[in-house]
């Protein structure tokens, strides 16, 4: 006769058709808590206190080890459709922001901008442990790993939300019950479940007016409810739980592919599950819905911000701020897979193992397909200004006087209507727009786009000579022999005269002659120019 099969705790014996109490003195293998795969509170609660939540966690682990369900995804699941965070054109030093940490795969709050780099990237401080603060030397505005966005409390008590339940990769509808001091939340789910200390990276707003979102909520609710109803058949007393013994019978007897009893018992033994303990089948149903996914999210490639970037053949070279393997310094990438640009002309260059991020002006040589090279682009370059902070490439920003303004670091390029109705374009410090003496240069113009020439400084402005010019272009070609604002010698009728470059257009240069009026300004090519 075959040896009888006993439960892990020795209290039950398999009769061949059901589990019955073991005869006195006939107990089988006893559970050794020291051998349990799950240690600490889980095992303690499961065995000693018979906590249904702890037992359910152990059952989920058993299902994963037996290959019946998928493990939680390595990276957070893609959330249901949600409102996008409105991203600004730029941040100021001192602004509080959220930082999307590639290491933590979530947004970190209480971060602060401490510097703006020449290539349009930012330096930020990130709280680490206790009073420790880390400095991230180069991040960009956006919503993917290694980026920053405005910091504001995203949710409040009472908000309807979708939550990635226990990080198992599936979003369920619920409501914010309260917020804790550490900026985590207590969630009351629609199905009656409760989860505390939920980080906001796992929370998305529930858009009540979105048909797409409502269809998602209905589908996930129906899937969960079907499983709950199936489990409820075995819950004779309507307690919301079923015994581990009953669930073992479900696994080993019901369905198209029942599992061998020995396999289930071995897993239950390893994880400290007693057959008379209770399982919260509502939570188990949630997990089974979350695990029923065709694909597991792929790990995100690390992002590395670089400047002085150049595409050479099919590779990228440049200076990395912080490479996870190579540290800071010059790098040469493997073959480039793709290049994409966002609305701020920030590039993401993807290689086999890494995504390199280049700020709008972080190129040593801009690629041919860069947005700056598009004739219809909305980027302007200021050159030749004696106040050097005004020079550089300006990106679209907010509207003033009914037309877009443009921004470069702390300087705005904008149009403003005076009290008398006159309209002027300004180059101004964006932190001093409401004060006197905050402007560097101005030009009287009602044009909807910045004038290229005519910029001055006067008793209302603080810019110094020479005066700038504005071009509807990006970075000047690196092989351009002359630049806007440069003092040169100009040939006219066989003689060389002093002058200055006002504007460039390809290999043509608009010049002005020293001590002569603007009526003498003209376009010339390099054959009539020499450096002074």
Token code pair at residue 374: 């598009």
Question: Whose CA is closest to 293, among 382, 168, 188, 381?
Answer: 168
28-72+216-291: what fold? Recoverin; domain 1 (1.10.238)
For 244-285, the pLDDT digits (tens) are: 777 777 777 765 567 777 777 776 776 666 777 787 777 777
The reply to whether 91-104+113-206 shares the fold of 28-72+216-291 is no
pLDDT of residue 316: 92
Contact 136, 124 (CB under 8 A): yes
Token code pair at residue 43: 């095992």
The yes/no answer on whether domain 487-531 falls in CATH 2.30.30.140 is yes
pLDDT of residue 46: 37
Three-state SS at 334: coil
Q: For the sheet containing 5-6, what is the strand order?
A: 5-6, 12-14, 19-21
Token code pair at residue 474: 């990006």
Token code pair at residue 94: 């001192």
For 103-133, the pLDDT digits (tens) are: 766 778 778 898 887 777 888 998 876 667 8
For 264-274, the pLDDT digits (tens) are: 777 677 666 67
Beta-sheet pairing, 133-141 with 147-150 = parallel
Strand-pairing partners, residue 400, are 403
In the chain, what are the domain boundaries?
28-72+216-291, 91-104+113-206, 303-364, 380-471, 487-531
- What span, in angstroms and rounded, lies between the C-alpha atoms of 76 and 10? 41
> How many helices (DSSP H) and strands (DSSP E) are in the chain?
6, 33
Strand-pairing partners, residue 341, are 347
Find tokens 């075959």 and name the residue.
2
Residue 326 has pLDDT above 90, yes or no: no
What's the angle, vertex CA 98, arms to CA 173 and CA 301, rounded to 5? 85
Reported as a pLDDT band with limits 50, 70 and 90, residue 221 is confident
Find tokens 């409105």 and name the residue.
86
Residue 210 has pLDDT above 80, yes or no: no
- What span, in angstroms and rounded, lies between the C-alpha atoms of 30 and 484? 86
Average pLDDT of every residue of the chain: 76
* DSSP state for residue 113 in the 8-state scheme: E
Q: Which of these CATH numbers, 2.30.30.140, 3.20.20.70, 3.30.565.10, 3.60.20.10, describes 91-104+113-206? A: 2.30.30.140
Q: Mark 26-35 as b/e (b = at least 16 C-beta within 10 Å).
A: eebeebeeee
Q: Mark 290-327 as b/e (b = at least 16 C-beta within 10 Å).
A: bbeeeeeeeeebbbbbbbebebeeeebbbbbbebeeee
Q: C-alpha distances in angstroms, 319 versus 156, 413, 470?
A: 42, 29, 29
Furthest C-alpha separation in the chain: 120
């Amino acid at each position: 006769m075959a040896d009888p099969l006993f439960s892990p705790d020795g209290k039950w014996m398999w009769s061949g058709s059901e589990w019955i109490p073991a005869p006195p003195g006939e107990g089988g293998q006893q559970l050794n808590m020291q051998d349990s795969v799950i240690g600490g509170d889980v095992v303690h609660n499961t065995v000693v206190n018979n906590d249904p939540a702890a037992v359910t966690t152990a059952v989920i682990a058993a299902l994963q080890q037996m290959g019946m369900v998928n493990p939680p995804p390595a990276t957070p699941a893609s959330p249901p459709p949600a409102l996008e965070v409105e991203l600004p054109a730029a941040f100021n030093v001192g602004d509080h922001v959220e930082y999307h940490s590639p290491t933590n795969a979530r947004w970190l709050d209480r971060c602060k901008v401490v510097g703006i780099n020449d290539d349009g990237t930012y330096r930020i401080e990130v709280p680490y442990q206790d009073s420790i603060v880390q400095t991230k030397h180069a991040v960009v505005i956006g919503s993917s790993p290694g980026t920053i966005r405005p910091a504001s409390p995203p949710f409040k008590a009472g908000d309807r939300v979708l939550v990635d339940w226990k990080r198992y990769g599936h979003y369920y509808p619920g409501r914010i019950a309260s917020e804790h001091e550490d900026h985590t939340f207590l969630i009351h789910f629609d199905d009656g479940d409760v989860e505390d200390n939920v980080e906001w990276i796992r929370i998305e707003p529930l858009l009540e007016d979105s048909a797409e979102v409502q269809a998602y909520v209905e589908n996930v609710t129906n899937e969960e409810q079907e499983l709950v109803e199936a489990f409820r058949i075995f819950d004779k007393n309507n307690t919301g739980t079923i015994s581990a013994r009953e669930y073992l019978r479900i696994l080993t007897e019901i369905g198209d592919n029942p599992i061998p009893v020995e396999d289930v018992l071995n897993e239950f033994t390893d994880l400290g599950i007693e057959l008379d303990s209770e399982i919260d089948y509502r939570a188990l149903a949630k997990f089974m819905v979350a695990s029923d996914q065709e694909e597991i999210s792929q790990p995100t490639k690390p992002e590395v911000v670089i400047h002085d970037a150049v595409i050479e053949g099919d590779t990228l070279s440049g200076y990395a701020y912080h490479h996870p393997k190579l540290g800071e310094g010059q790098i040469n990438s493997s073959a480039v897979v793709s290049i994409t640009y966002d609305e701020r002309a920030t590039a993401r260059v993807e290689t086999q193992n890494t995504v390199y991020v280049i700020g709008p002006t972080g190129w040593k040589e801009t690629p041919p397909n860069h947005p700056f090279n598009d004739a219809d682009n909305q980027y302007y370059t200021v050159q030749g200004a004696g106040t050097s902070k005004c020079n550089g490439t300006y990106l679209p920003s907010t509207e003033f006087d009914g037309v877009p303004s443009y921004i470069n670091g702390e300087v705005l390029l904008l149009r403003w209507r005076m009290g008398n109705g006159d309209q002027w374009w300004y180059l101004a410090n964006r932190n001093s727009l409401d004060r006197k003496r905050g402007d560097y240069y101005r030009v009287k113009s009602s044009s909807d786009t910045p004038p290229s020439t005519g910029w001055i400084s006067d008793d209302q402005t603080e810019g110094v000579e020479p005066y700038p010019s504005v071009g509807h272009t990006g970075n000047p070609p690196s092989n351009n022999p002359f630049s806007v604002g440069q003092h040169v010698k100009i040939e006219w009728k066989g003689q060389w005269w002093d002058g200055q470059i006002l504007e460039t257009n390809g290999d043509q240069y608009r010049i002005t002659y020293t001590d002569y009026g603007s009526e003498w300004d003209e376009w010339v090519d390099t054959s009539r120019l020499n450096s002074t």
